[in-house]
Each structure stands twice: as structure tokens, then as C-alpha cells.
Structure 1
Amino acid sequence: MNHYLPMLYDTLFGFFALFLLTKILGKTQISQLTAFDFISALILGELVGNALFDKEAGIPEIAFVITLWGGLLYLTEIITQKYKRTRSLLEGSPAIVIHKGKLIYDVMKKNNLDINQLQNMLRTKNVFSIQEVEHAILETNGTVSVLRKPAYQTPTKEDLNVYQTPANLSVMLINDGEVIYDNLAEFNLSEEWLYVQLEQQKTELSDVFYAEYMEGKRLFILPYVNKKDSQ
């Protein structure tokens, strides 16, 4: 049993050390990871994993590995922020793969991108035909940004000369039957106001699974629904 204790201490230390490291370096969404970020994360996980299962490695060794690799990543971030010319080397740079409706073969070849891959990436942007695309840019995180041709663009309210209502954020006021008092206070709403809204819709708090408020609109309520009730 005693031999499990060092593993417990090492694992806990590695967990909190990695958590602290991510806080120091900043957070990046998975979909926004560059190739360098992805490789860095893999190597860091591998280093910590090896240290955890190495019988001769303890907390000092794990701390050294995390500090060293974290320092290198932090130094890289400073360099890319201070010297803009290094960004394209370390983070990559966007590449135009479609320009004025024409495929740029050299750019696609340089980025090892074939037509099937490009079509798949376009479909994720709800573009199902290359002839709809005016410009397409391959981003550093591997996604593609698309600008459609004018004939295929969705008209805006400004284009249609339609009255534009203000854009408001929605806020969750009830989650799983519990009132979110912090959100009520943030929007200067009272608990009494909330119960009045529920009463107007002939609903009790215990029956509400989710409730959402948006300024100028009626309180949106979703009651508890079982699978058999939805059929």
C-alpha cells in the first residue's frame, strides 16, 4: 500500500503544476490550437507521464520538467509577441487557397491540402460547392475561413433596409430548478419579478428545468420532460 502514496503525491503535484502552468501561459481553445501548440501539449503530457511512472523520478524531477518546458513555452510566447516576424515561423501564417473564385494550386500543394480535404472543410462552413466561394483562407489552426461570392451571400437587414432591433444577450435565470441569483442581480432583476413571470405562464419553480431571460422578450421556460412524455 505504501508504494501507492508516492504515486498519489506525484500525480497530485503534476496535476496542480500543469493547471498552474496553463494559467500562467494563458488558455487556447482546442479548435484554435496551432501546430506548435498541439506538439507542445503532446510533449508536455509525455514528459509528465514519463516522470510519473519513472521509479527514480519524484516531485523534484516533475517540477523541473514542467518548469523547464513551461519556461520554454513562455519564452516562445514573449518572442512571438515582441518580434512579429517570428510569428510566421513559430505559429505559421494564413494561406489563401481560393482567390477570386480560383483555386491556388501552389498554395494547396505547399500545405499538403488536396481538393477532397478542402471540400470537407468548406462543408463545415455550410458551403457545398466551390463555385460559391470568392475567397478561402487556410488558417494556422487548420480551419478554413470563407468569403462567399456576392450572389451566394446571405442578405443582411441593412441590405434589405429593414428596421434593426438592438442585439441583446440572454442570461440563464433558472438551471435544473434552481434560481441563479447572481444573474438576477447582474441584470437588476428581483426574485419577486421572476416569480411573477412564472405565475404569468402558470408555472412553478419546481417544474422548471431551464429559464432564460432576454431584455424586451418574455421569459423563456423549458419544463422537465421525460423521454416518454416527448414521444
Structure 2
Amino acid sequence: MKKLLFLLLLNYSLFADTLPNRITTTITSVDTNNVQVATSVPQGTSGIVIHSYGNKLSAITHLIVSTGDKQATIYPYQELGDTKLPNIKSSVEKGDKVIFGNFYSNLLLIAPNEESYRKATQKFKRNFIHPDIYAMDLILNGEHKISFDNLKAFAQKNQIGLVLITTKENIMVLDPISSKYLATLPPITTLNTTAISPFYARFEQISNGFFGTESNQKFLEYYQGIGQIQ
């Protein structure tokens, strides 16, 4: 009985900590910008549509976002967010291949301190893009705080599939392309309760008021700032 209970608890723990994964499927019907796919996909999951031209030639033609169940919406695809590149004009067709979560192996983590960041990167075995790179991108673009828009732009440029945002109660899993939260995971427990910023280099251009100040290093400012992401 104890062994069975342990296995049930272990399975629950593994399930609770699981990040969204890649889903490969095909388009079964098309109605303008709305399509149906062969596999049920969680709402908010983004991906790409790949059209085959024959003779082993294929190309990404559209961005796709699941609206729940087997339904999805398609959008123009611009490689790496570079508007100077030409768009492929192919229409979406029945039988086109779809890869949802094509970059879900690449993550950006927003955490309140370096200890939380280290523990999370050890826990989730994926490729992490350091948040200081994101901070530099904010500065170069004249941004002063985290938003869904600049997360999406940064994700497109750096092939990031998921953003993990540490809140006071849990870790929110965001698809930055759809700006939809896909999952809620248990928080990372740490002993360090003094840091207040997800960026570890000193960036004066990033608003101190958004994450607190060095003279007032409280988690409250960090969590208030995270709660204002929109």
C-alpha cells in the first residue's frame, strides 16, 4: 500500500512539473484563417505550418496558434521576426504539416534571484537563454519594463519557445508568441529572500521602480512588477 501511494505521489509530482512539449500533427480542414488539425492541442500553443512542394522541397509558410481542442488560427510567418525577409505566399492546405511548440526546448526564465534561477535551470533540462541578454535587448529598444510585446519580439529574434515567470505562489509558463499562459508549476523553494531583480548585471536603464531598489531589496517589489506584465 505504501509503495502504491509513493508511486502515485511520484507520478503526480512528475506531471505537475512537466513543461509543454512539441506536438506534430497535420491540417485536416481549412476555413480562411481558421483550420482544424488532427490532434487536440492546448489553447495558446503556438507553432509553424510546413508546406511540401514535392521533390523533397518544403518550407515554413505560416504561424499557427491553437484555440483549443483541434481548432487553430493561422497568421503570416516572418522568419526570426525580420520584416526585411520576403513572405512565402503559399496558402495553407489540407495535409500540411504542423509543429506546435517548435522552439519549446528554448526557455527564458524570469526569477527573483540567482539562486532561484540556478535551481530552476537544474530542474528543467532545457536550453536557457540568460535573462541579461533579454535585459540588453530592452535597453537597446528603449524599453523600461517587461511586457508581452517585448517578450514576443525577443522570442522571435532568439527562437525562444517558452517563458517561465516566477511568481510568489508558482511558476507561470508563458507562450510568448501567443501571449497565453499554458501551465502553472510548483514554485522553486530557496533560502535566499533578499534579491529583487531577474537581471543579474547592473543595468541602470532598467527601471528600479519596477523591481525595487538596492536600498530596499524586498520580494514585494519584484512580485508587484511581475504582476504588472501585460
TM-score (norm 2): 0.22
Which has more radius of gyration? 1
More RCO (CA 8 Å, sep 6+): 2
